[in-house]
Chain A
């Protein structure tokens, strides 16, 4: 995807920068969020653009992108799924949920690792990763599809869950 910041997006960006009257650098995370929301992931051009916008060196932006699990450097699927991996959800069946979702979306997770936590289906419709505790531990297993939160997911009914997301 070509990286071109629309005037509408730049307006939002300029507004957000005003939230940080003491230091523009504080706006790195919010700018990256706005850009990732629009472009689905953070490309190298975006890193340079944010750095120029905030008067920083590109490395000061890149080190943020690479640290935080919430920022992606590769395109996810049309619907990105995050399954909570941590204890309470694991006790409630989150590993089984991960397997069921991978089977239903035909995602091969065997190559997932620290550097490539996200696995994408061959058709690009879905991507998936494990997330750590999503703060709904009493109602596991829990997953997020894009910004939607799903609790007490029935592992035998992941088809119904995915049906809410037309591809």
Chain B
């Protein structure tokens, strides 16, 4: 163990409101990604402990911890592990989702670059718990250094007997490999990721029947977990599931890393106990407030796919609570009750200098670019949402275009193979619901009721196509 107290790089010290578990070693003076450094700091002790436990007990600790996936959906990790059919005789695989591509999200990158062994330890424990002898870490292509660092970490873990055959004399064999993506957002969706790992286009698979825990990689049971989720596993073993569950709030346990970007004085990443800080505290305390002279306008609270919240909304919840946007605790359940989602932890703050037409147009360009194209509503709809919002921003839209935009979004949600359909329609639906007047205000009233061509010219009478 290091004798000296932990210090952080100047300007990168954790805020006093943070609770650093996963990010304890991020930006730490003297900490490097080597296995020696990791071992000096208590590394791989939990893996050794795991080998003394019954496999089902590890999964039970994770269940007791209440850990919910940090990749976006917030699904309980221990429950997911338990979905592998008890009668299964096929090989089981684990995949770490290090695609980190939901706009607004920037947390996994620091673990991969600065503390890769923390991820490996959590992942090897998970492999042992579910009986996976082969696993892949799917790293987005735009993290080339991370791929090198994690590959080096894997080699180090091999050399020290934490991977390979008969790990630490346990009789358990396990191999992990890095697999690099190639720049497509849809590879973050777990079944698209699996197709990509099989060497194909990342076309998501339909669920049912292709739930990865039953029919995943090579049609075998596969556990897909986010980088941050797998890191938590190590800390759950260290603390015990019940103690871990005391962090955070009921049903929203543990810590999570919030990634704040946009119009605040100090954007950045903050690891906090789930639900123990409010949105107002995120903005004013963690991020130093809004920029001078600016007023809050809107917040996207959980990655770009989460529905936008308007600054002046009051949320009346079923349990009787009445919350302003600033009162919302940063947890899964309250954010859902307020009509949005905590998602990937990416919080995008927008002040009164921002045009909502411009913002939704930026996002619509993203989704049009990233649709995999399998489902007609998503492929065509995401493109039309982009085209329509392009012309709202260009000032050549008719006010009817806003209604058309909404109807396109409504025709995608719930009608597609994967959740990208929701991911691309929720932003448009919510921006229209909450900022529809502003969007209409950016259109040309004199074009109302007319068929308008893409460039904004009035199309020839009788022609329907635009």
Contacts and interface: CB of A to CB of B under 8 A. Distances in A.
Interface in B366-381: 366, 369-370
B348 A87 contact: yes
A26 B185 CA distance: 19
A137 B362 CA distance: 14
A88 B104 contact: yes
B410 interface: no
A86 B366 contact: yes
A147 B144 contact: yes
A67 B105 contact: no
Contact of A27 (B183, B184, B199, B304): B199
Given A26-B199, A63-B201, A88 B261 contact: yes
B141 interface: yes
Contacts of B212: none
Given A27-B199, A29-B196, A135 B348 contact: no
A28 B350 CA distance: 41
B248 interface: no
B141 A137 contact: no
Nearest to A88: B261
A131 B262 CA distance: 18
B359 interface: yes
B232 interface: no
B142 interface: yes
Given A137-B261, A137-B346, A138-B259, A29 B104 contact: no
Nearest to B136: A19
Interface in A1-58: 19-23, 25-30, 32-33, 54
A29 B106 contact: no
B251 interface: no
Interface residues of B, number: 53
A60 B185 CA distance: 21
Interface stretch (B33-41, B117-125, B173-181): B173-181
Given A138-B261, A139-B267, A147-B145, A133 B104 contact: yes
A69 interface: yes
A136 interface: yes
Interface in B156-202: 177, 179-185, 196-202
Contact of B105 (A68, A85, A137): A137
B262 to A, nearest CB: 6
B182 A132 contact: no
Contacts of B145: 147, 149
A32 B144 CA distance: 14
Interface in A90-117: 90-91, 114
A144 interface: yes
Contacts of B177: 19-20
B132 to A, nearest CB: 13
Q: Which residue, of B109, B179, B269, B304, has the highest number of chain A Cβ atoms within 10 A?
A: B179
8 contacts: A26-B199, A29-B199, A87-B103, A87-B304, A131-B142, A135-B101, A138-B259, A139-B267
**Shortest 9 CB-CB contacts between residues of A and residues of B:** A70-B183, A70-B182, A68-B182, A28-B199, A138-B267, A88-B261, A137-B261, A25-B199, A69-B183
Interface of B: 91, 100-106, 108-109, 134, 140-145, 177, 179-185, 196-202, 218, 259-263, 267-269, 304, 346, 348, 350, 354, 359, 362-363, 365-366, 369-370
